[in-house]
Chain A
Amino acid sequence: MTDMDEHDLRSLYRQMLLIRRFEEKSAEMYALAKIAGFLHLYIGEEAIAVGAVAALRPDDYVISAYRDHGHCLARGSDPGRVMAELFGKATGLCQGKGGSMHLVDLANRFMGGYAIVGGHIPLATGLAFATKYRKQDLVTVCFFGEGAVPSGQAHEAFNLAALWKLPVIFICENNRYGMGTPVARAVALYDNVAEAARSYGIMAERVDGMDVLAVRELMRTVVDQVRAGHGPFFIEAMTYRFMGHSMADPSHGHYRSKDEVEEHRKRDPLVLLKHQMLSQALCSEGDFKSLEQEVGEVVAAAVKFADESPFPDPSSLHADVMVEE
């Protein structure tokens, strides 16, 4: 390992840590009623967003579903403005009009979180259609859960992407549950959901979604291939959501056991990377402590910023329904 690698791994770890602590703090803020509505946490799945985004250029497009905080933060959005959006504040990314499920950060080419399952997958093909039409060498990355795979809109999008060789990378975050329904009760080919994409002639591969380096490694190859114009690619990243579906759902109980959750927690993506870095002597425990402290400060500052920011003025209610000309 070189110094570059060390810096690299530390940066990946820091991003995952930021998402983890941000999400934990969001849960706290939800309990304090600072955040309302639906809140879907990304805890346990951090390696996918961080590993995938690490293989992208800043001008590539990223689009996601409703469990979108991780992708937005991985893309480089200001945690303060993300938290402010969750708080419904005027300083939020979307001035309080989007909320947790609809984060958008155009400056970082994060094109949004969308909350109708499967409905944003055609949008991703459209972003890719536009870049291809303009002969730009950009790729579009589209995140969704395995619960979206059997939806009609996903299939229509897969077909269009394959038909027109669009530069789009579909990343299925297979966390094994669509809300409380296990994949085996929702997807006919539950042990190989990528077949849905393969059936349209889309290349597909499965990756360990708990291993950020494996995700990044696969993504580097895939991004090169897609950027070179070889058409879409489908990645099935195997992962697990450590928390409930949303804040309304406990992490275990009716549909999955505590033992099952504990079993998956043993492969916590942060712990896996940390062990690797320690075993290769790339970082000391002291380094991790200072990272914890630094990230803790960032998250605390984000909360402070969100808390101190003003709510939107009711006079902004009708702004941005239409583009006024």
Chain B
Amino acid sequence: MLLSYRDALNQAMREEMRRDSRIVLIGEEVGYYQGAFKVTKGFVEEFGPHRVVDTPITEAGFTGLAIGAAVAGLRPIVELMTMNFGIVALDQIVNNAAKIRYMSGGQLSVPLVIRGPGSAAHQLGAQHSQSLEAWFCHVPGLKVVAPSTPHDAKGLLKSAIRDQNPVVFIEAQLLYGTKGEVAEGEYTIPLGRADVKRAGTDVTVVAYSKMLLVALEAAERLRQDGLDVEVIDPRTLKPLDLESIVTSVKKTGRMVIVEEGWRFCGLGAQIADSVYAAAFDYLDAPIVRVTGEDVPMPYSRPLEDAAIPDVPRVVAAIHSLCGVA
């Protein structure tokens, strides 16, 4: 069935909340407002305010509360209105959610999902446009998921909710309205498995979340130039499915990584490092990264456009890598 990314997330949580009464949804405006981006539309009506809990604007407090509730055996889903606000809750996420299992020698666990939109939308300014996945991926003890399609969003969110670990689940405001085929009925997609979104033989492009759509469009344009581009979506950023990426690189010998986040210490640097270590001999040329610019996101449209990877830049990167003028 054709479903929007937003509705796919809504279905995932609705199905899971119906089957498991330990799941509670906590966040700003998740209840009566129906979610800042309407992802939780209809939830408070179906599940009641004791399970769909509107919070004050205190991300550290309610994220910490959710972690404590998870330790006590609930399975909370925290909705951050945007991932930017995760910075306010970073102490809780990094010092508590990610470490409680380890510090306790395995006595405690934190089955928790922290979800919300990351990355830029349209002209939201420097504090509401950040791609922080590299921050979360850097921390041992967290899983990080960033789906690009409605089908993946649903299946991965269901797996994240059932996972015994804290999972940071990064959506994108500009993806909420996108539509795609979603399988009928009950299904999950395991965390830690990449998906080949477009098979090809000449070059491997790794992209996730919103950038996956950019990569696919670039691949389509390059078809006219006779280039056969393989596009892989890791879907789960940590643990990363390196094997699938390496399999593709061994076939194509060339690789481009597209990410919206800042270049320096970005996720692509880690992916490149891992691929170099695993498949250096198979590479015909150095790995190319197309990234966001190292600037706070500007407001003005032309400046914002200049800060984010787009189709022409991905096309140009692949052209140069493959020696096409």
Contact = CB atoms under 8 A, between A and B. Distances in A.
A119 B105 contact: no
Interface stretch (B11-19, B60-68, B210-218): B60-68
A152 B104 contact: no
A106 B103 CA distance: 12
- Point out which of B55, B104, B140 has the most chain A C-beta atoms below 10 A from its C-beta: B104
Given A119-B95, A123-B67, A125-B68, A133 B74 contact: yes
Interface string A72-105: 0000000000000000000011111110001011
Contacts of A104: 103-105, 107-108
Contacts of B64: 119-123, 125-126, 153, 156-157
B24 interface: yes
A160 B73 contact: no
B96 interface: yes
A57 to B, nearest CB: 15
A159 interface: yes
Given A104-B108, A119-B95, A126 B67 contact: yes
A52 B58 CA distance: 30
A283 B24 CA distance: 53
B92 A122 contact: yes
Interface residues of A, number: 44
A70 interface: no
Contacts, number: 144
B100 A122 contact: no
Contacts of B106: 95, 319-320
Contact of B65 (A94, A160, A321): A160
B51 to A, nearest CB: 8
Given A126-B65, A130-B74, A131-B72, A94 B164 contact: no
A94 B104 contact: yes
A116 B24 contact: no
B219 interface: no
A241 B165 CA distance: 38
B92 A119 contact: yes
A119 B67 CA distance: 11
Contact of A152 (B60, B101, B103, B105): B60
A97 B102 CA distance: 7
Contacts of A94: 103-105, 107
Interface of A: 61, 92-98, 102, 104-106, 111-112, 114, 116, 119-131, 133-134, 152-153, 156-157, 159-160, 163, 319-323, 325
